[in-house]
């Protein structure tokens, strides 16, 4: 196996899940897993999987909020399955750093990188135009300002994507997938968490509160999988929501490497 794969995977996690989607592995959060690498049996490939975890109110069982974790590159079938799954919700709160109320259209920023892994960019398949989707994120200006207020340096996503594309083309799709799956399955802590996780997740909770005031009781939060442990803690502290069940979705398969 490519010797640097594990280290490189951790460095590049922010490209796939942490931006725009990362997570703090806060030790006070409940240890629910939202990413896992499932070994294959009898020579079958392993699978990188993300979780959809259902949360229900202790005081009001009619209130349900599902955390729908996602990775920003994957198999086309992965996103098609998520599209179908999200039809069931009254409201889906989605992430996208952009003007308030606007929706992503077409390819995102990961198409070349995804191609190097023989995968697709999330934006190519996820249907953001459906009526139950509600924007729950910062604008670009708010995002930049949040870093300035905290005195933090904003991640240079373009350079990360360029580097990742070059590296993954060099590694080849099988080893690139193995490296990324290994790094993501550890759910590492990413630099920039106070903004990428804390401040952006706070925006989501504000939008969630607005939707609950409108009487919504069946809501999904559709965000990068590494955001989810922070959301889980917030849902419990704010609404007394506890996890009930978990459903797993295969992001992509990982062939055995020598």
The C-alpha atoms of residue 66 and residue 232 are separated, in whole angstroms, by 10
Q: Which secondary structure element, helix H or strand E, spans residue 14, and what is its range?
A: none
Q: Is residue 87 part of a domain?
A: yes
Burial class (CB in 10 A: 0-12, 13-18, 19+), 103: middle
pLDDT for 257: 57
Number of H helices, E strands in the chain: 10, 9
Enter the pTM of the model: 0.87
Are the beta carbons of 88 and 64 closer than 8 angstroms?
Answer: no
DSSP secondary structure letter of residue 40: P
Burial class (CB in 10 A: 0-12, 13-18, 19+), 138: buried
Number of domains the chain is built from: 1
Minimal CA–CA distance to 204: which of 128, 134, 157?
A: 134
CA atoms within 13 A on the CB side of 157: 16
Q: Is residue 29 part of a domain?
A: no
Each residue's pLDDT tens digit, 156-210: 777 777 888 888 899 999 999 998 888 888 765 654 589 999 999 999 999 999 9
Q: Is residue 127 part of a domain?
A: yes
Question: Which domain does 93 fall in, by range?
Answer: 5-23+34-254
Q: Are strands 46-57 and 35-38 parallel, antiparallel or unpaired?
A: antiparallel
The C-alpha atoms of residue 217 and residue 105 are separated, in whole angstroms, by 28
Q: Is residue 221 part of a domain?
A: yes
Q: Is residue 28 part of a domain?
A: no
Minimal CA–CA distance to 251: which of 125, 73, 95, 33?
A: 73
The C-alpha atoms of residue 176 and residue 133 are separated, in whole angstroms, by 32
Residues in the chain, pLDDT under 50: 1-11, 14-15, 18-31, 191
The three-state (H, E, C) secondary structure of 64-89, written as one string: EEEEEEECCEECHHHHHHHHHHHHHC
Minimal CA–CA distance to 241: which of 214, 222, 210, 218?
A: 218
Q: Is residue 248 part of a domain?
A: yes
Q: Is residue 249 part of a domain?
A: yes
Q: Is residue 226 part of a domain?
A: yes
């Amino acid at each position: 196996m490519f010797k640097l794969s594990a280290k490189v995977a951790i460095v590049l996690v922010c490209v796939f899940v942490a931006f725009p989607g990362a997570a703090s592995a806060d030790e006070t959060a409940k240890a629910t897993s939202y990413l896992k690498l499932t070994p294959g049996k009898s020579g079958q490939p392993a699978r990188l999987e993300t979780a959809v975890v259902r949360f229900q109110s202790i005081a009001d069982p009619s209130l349900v909020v599902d955390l729908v974790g996602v990775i920003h590159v994957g198999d086309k079938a992965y996103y098609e399955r998520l599209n179908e799954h999200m039809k069931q919700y009254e409201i889906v709160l989605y992430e996208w750093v952009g003007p308030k109320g606007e929706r992503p259209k077409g390819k995102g920023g990961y198409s070349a990188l995804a191609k190097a892994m023989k995968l697709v960019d999330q934006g190519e398949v996820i249907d953001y135009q459906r009526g139950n989707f509600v924007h729950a994120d910062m604008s670009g200006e708010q995002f930049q300002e949040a870093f300035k207020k905290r005195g933090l340096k904003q991640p240079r996503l373009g350079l990360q994507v360029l580097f990742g594309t070059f590296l993954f083309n060099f590694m080849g799709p099988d080893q690139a997938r193995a490296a990324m799956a290994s790094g993501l399955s550890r759910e590492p802590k990413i630099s920039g968490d106070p903004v990428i996780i804390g401040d952006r997740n706070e925006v989501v909770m504000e939008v969630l509160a607005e939707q609950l005031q409108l009487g919504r009781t069946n809501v999904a939060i559709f965000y990068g999988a590494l955001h989810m442990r922070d959301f889980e803690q917030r849902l419990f502290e704010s609404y007394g929501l506890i996890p009930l069940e978990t459903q797993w979705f295969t992001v992509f398969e990982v062939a055995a490497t020598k």
